Structure 1
Amino acid sequence: MECGDYDKVIIVEGSSDRKKVASVLNEVVEIRCTNGTISITKLDELVEELMDRDVYLLFDADESGEKLRKQFRREMPEANHLYINKMYKEVESSPEHHIATVLLSANMNVKMKFLS
């Protein structure tokens, strides 16, 4: 499968977030990183590239995560916003069972061991 062949795309902030999310998923989903910030030019390119796909945003529960959400809300209003509990603050520091629950709520297939 080529990079653009996945139906679902999850956009996270960093590579540690990507690893955490990938470890919980039990289906093939493309996971993209913004590396903390994203320029308007890169965001426009991303919007065009992901136009016909299901896009999910999973950012940290902090100021930089909220700033990214606002940018994506403006440029990609059809994207699905997923939220981690504020007590964990970061995707990478959230327990796997919490990430699994968040992804399951978006009808994604997760590894069952994280739900028990």
Structure 2
Amino acid sequence: MYLSDKVLIVEGKTDKRRIEEVLVEPVQIICTFGTMGVSKLDEILEQLDGSDIYILSDADKEGRKIRKWFKKHLSESTHIYIDPKFGEVGRCPRDYLANLLMRHGFYVDTSLIMKGKFYDERAVRDTGYIQSYSF
């Protein structure tokens, strides 16, 4: 059971592991494994009713396909985009992912937040998510 109403949908296990290295709050992370069938996704969506759903997919053809499906069938989901130069969520630097997820309201490991090319001063000031998360 998760204490959070947030659900993060990613493509694969590598993406999930990388995100788990960054997050410090309990978030349900669901893997689509790239080419999940529509019936399987429908089954998952029934379980997610009432949750805040975030889509974080790779910057490739399969990632665009997954985003397109979720935009069509679950328009209220929030899409988080990675910089295409990284290609895959699993290859994104931890500090980049921490700042990206923090901007979308997730609590992240504060040791990964650094001032630099991925740091967003407004996200820290506006959300206050730089503070430690406690369960």
TM-score range, shorter chain: over 0.9
Q: How does 1:31-46 map to 2 (within 5 A)?
A: 31-46=29-44
Out of 77, 80, 87, which is 1:79 matched to? Answer: 77
Report how many residues are paired: 114
Query: Conserved in 2, the CA contact under 8 Å of 1:47 and 1:75?
Result: no
Per the alignment, residue 108 of structure 1 pairs with 106
Q: How does 1:54-93 map to 2 (within 5 A)?
A: 54-93=52-91
**Identity over aligned pairs, percent:** 39
Unaligned runs of 5+ in 2: 115-135
Taking the aligned partners of 1:115 and 1:75, their CA distance within structure 2 comes to 34
Query: Conserved in 2, the CA contact under 8 Å of 1:84 and 1:98?
Result: no
The CA RMSD over aligned residues, in Å, is: 1.1
For each residue in 1:18-77, what CA deviation from the matched residue of structure 2 results, as whole angstroms up to 9, or x when unmatched? Answer: 000010001111111001112110111122111210111100001110000001111111
Per the alignment, residue 11 of structure 1 pairs with 9
Larger RCO of the pair (alpha carbons < 8 Å, separation 6+) = 1
Q: CA deviation at 1:6?
A: 3.5
Query: Conserved in 2, the CA contact under 8 Å of 1:15 and 1:33?
Result: yes
The residue identity in structure 2 corresponding to 1:45 is E
Unaligned runs of 5+ in 1: none
The structure having more radius of gyration, on CA atoms, is: 2
Taking the aligned partners of 1:36 and 1:64, their CA distance within structure 2 comes to 6
Taking the aligned partners of 2:35 and 2:49, their CA distance within structure 1 comes to 20
What TM-score do the two structures reach when normalised by structure 2? Answer: 0.81
